[in-house]
Amino acid sequence: MPTLHIESEESDIHSRVIMPVDPNNAHYIATKFLEDFRVVNKKNGNLAYSGKYKGVDVTIFPSGMGIASMGLYSHELFIDYDVDKIIRIGTCESYKEELKTNDILLVDSSYSLTSFDTESGKEDLEIINSSTELNGIITSTALLQELKLSVGRVHTTDAFYTEEESFSRYTDIGCLAVDMETYSLLYNAKKFMKKATSLLVVNDSLVNHEIIDTESREKKLDEMIVLALESIIKN
């Protein structure tokens, strides 16, 4: 049954979901990597696709930008469409010199000062962990692909533009990078006893101000997409 924000029928959405931020990226993934794909959502311009990857049913559903949008869509996917696992794929900004542009970060936890947790679940949790099961599958899949992964905590922020002069308070509690979506995904997965994690390409560094070039970015995004697809079809 369609929800307030998703027009798909329950059978349109599969239990395995890859979530980029941008509908354009969802279109790119579906057309390049899926077989027999079809559009399963157009509501609010948030185009989503379902198809097969190596014969296994997979849905590519955009989260939209920010904690609130990811929280909304992942909530409805988990609850109304009985999605079992979600891998967010996207980009992040590095806080640490050793985490360089072009690196792929597998998130093991997310820190945030957002009010999302208190408003949606009456909890005050600054740190949420990723699914250890899903992360284990991704790690072993990356080894088979001879793909290097960094693993660690991401700071998920509500604000892209800030007046902060230093991000040391985030590195002091173990944050390697910053994004804008992971926390609410992991919170909803915890709340509804589902599996979720994030794979993030380091797009730029706040330490040395390097920015990934277009050619390298496309290559790394493709590597990350394949890693996410290969991992989510297992088990």
CA torsion sign for 168, 184, 128, 219 is: negative
Report the amino acid identity of residue 57.
D
Burial class (CB in 10 A: 0-12, 13-18, 19+), 7: middle
Kind plus residue range of the DSSP H or E element containing 31: helix 23-33
Instruction: Let me know: does 86 contact 194? Beta carbons within 8 Å.
Output: yes
Considering 22, 80, 84, 204, which one is annotated as catalytic? Answer: 204
Cβ 189 vs Cβ 195: under 8 Å: yes
115 in Cβ contact with 157 (< 8 Å): no
Determine the Cα–Cα distance for residues 55 and 14; give it in Å rounded to an integer: 13
- Chain centroid to CA 28: 16
Active-site residue flag, 82: no
Q: What is the DSSP string of 59-126?
A: EE----SSHHHHHHHHHHHHHHS---EEEEEEEEEE-STTS-TT-EEEEEEEE---SHHHHHHS---S
Active site residues: 204
